[in-house]
Chain A
């Protein structure tokens, strides 16, 4: 059995993180509860941090360890806090989310999307910096990017759409961590500041929608009105 810091163990850890990352992204598509989507997003961010740490140790890249730290601070702590601050009542109200398609239909469609994502990513394997990690992270990242996009498309609820966007962001990081393990610190800091601000802007927007209309079901907003 290999030791703790060895490449085999790190690949195993990364493989586990990517399997669960895929599973959690699928669960975000399938779940009906508002609070559950937010919790699943937090779990997904933790898995992203685990994967970034494993690749960071495996490829001796201090940058990825910084990324892992930033992910924990921004996505696990800051984003839920900001959302609670702006639209707390909507999220913690234990509501179910409307969606345009039924859950079995969207599950089947997301299976197709995952297949497509895996297939597309095979063509991208030439930009490899750490082959054994890329083989795991790139397909899973691209599949989850599509799943996040799908969530944004089918949900009729502003907060769930925001979570879909955050999932897409997570997925890009997940794939990117394996392709470009030595990204400049500037990009990391930009990402770190960007995300809570994006969440804040969205949260305030959602709060404004809620104040004007009494609901956040943006799927029902199909006609323009004038006052």
Chain B
């Protein structure tokens, strides 16, 4: 019991302290592909530290929503970490507190608050970004639901720990159409949700073309640090959901010893690095879609997911 709680806290610590590193490595890899040197992989830690040192300036027109949003953006990924298998393949202390739908709700809550906060500042670019990112997320919503449906059909459960075990039953299930198609649909969803390249350019600095980034333009000091750190954690949590729950349960600790759990940290991190290589390949090969073609991208992922569900219902 106490051990299970302790492991759960280790999971939170791993996500809390390794997520900026993951984002730093991704940025560095992408710069290297473009034949540039790129920032240090520890740059995100330095940015967060720098923001924490600075004063925070808040617009006098804004309300409490603007001040509360960074805390939600920071706390929600931590809550989600309690629910998903980060290091162990058996359920930990908080595993049955919520299922994959709860994960979706928690992220939706913080996303909605950040959108309100962006509108709250009365900065015009904030409103543009907020409405655009709402457009992306309402197009992504049906895909999210279909992914949940398909996964729970295959696994007979929506608890992430149980879902991840159901893929490894036989090679026919693992390599079967329903699993492969769900993975691909979730990957497209991930790209849309994290504002990665075919949907949005995360490195762009032109306000009129921004989707995700323009919501944070008004933040400074501690608020900016929390949002940056929360964003890095959300990225890592979604990577972990993709790698550990939807793709493979490989590399997770099976034993209940502390050594086994600590050994799982580098294994999982190596798996995430492989996923980062995939992301770099996608982002370096594709160009950003026009705004009104995003519905085609997410529509395609919806259809892929419907196919996955039909395939799993028909027993193919």
Contact = CB atoms under 8 A, between A and B. Distances in A.
Given A30-B300, A104-B295, A111-B307, A140 B177 contact: yes
B175 interface: yes
B278 interface: no
A124 interface: no
A109 to B, nearest CB: 10
Interface string B158-175: 000000000000111011
Interface in A1-59: 2, 8-9, 11-13, 15-16, 18-20, 22-23, 26-27, 30
A103 B299 contact: yes
Nearest to B183: A19
B153 to A, nearest CB: 15
Nearest to B293: A103
A12 B316 contact: no
Contact of B174 (A12, A20, A108): A12
A11 B172 contact: yes
B316 A140 contact: yes
Given A8-B171, A9-B171, A12-B172, A19 B300 contact: no
B316 A13 contact: no
A160 interface: no
A115 B177 CA distance: 14
A37 to B, nearest CB: 15
A202 interface: no
B314 A15 contact: no
B303 A107 contact: yes
A108 B303 contact: yes
Contact of A26 (B170, B174, B295, B303): B303
A132 interface: yes
Interface residues of A, number: 32
Contacts of B280: none
B174 A19 contact: no
A170 to B, nearest CB: 17
Which of A118, A122, A140 has the most chain B CB atoms closer than 10 A to its own CB? A118
A67 interface: no
Interface in A97-142: 103-104, 107-108, 110-111, 114-115, 118-119, 122, 132, 135-136, 139-140
B131 to A, nearest CB: 20
A118 B299 CA distance: 21
Contacts of A111: 303, 306-307
Contacts of B300: 26-27, 30, 107
Interface in B221-277: none
Given A26-B300, A30-B300, A19 B306 contact: no
A15 B184 CA distance: 15
Contacts of B295: 104
Given A103-B299, A104-B296, A26 B304 contact: yes
Nearest to B170: A8
B311 interface: yes
B75 interface: no
Contact of A135 (B175, B184, B315): B315
Contacts of A2: 171
Nearest to B307: A114
A28 to B, nearest CB: 12
B309 to A, nearest CB: 10
B181 interface: yes
Contacts of B177: 15, 18-19, 22, 136, 140
A118 B314 contact: yes
Contacts of B310: 114-115, 118
Which of B171, B181, B296 has the most chain A CB atoms closer than 10 A to its own CB? B171
19 contacts: A2-B171, A8-B171, A9-B171, A11-B171, A12-B171, A12-B175, A15-B172, A16-B180, A22-B181, A30-B300, A103-B296, A104-B296, A107-B300, A108-B303, A111-B307, A115-B306, A122-B314, A135-B316, A136-B176
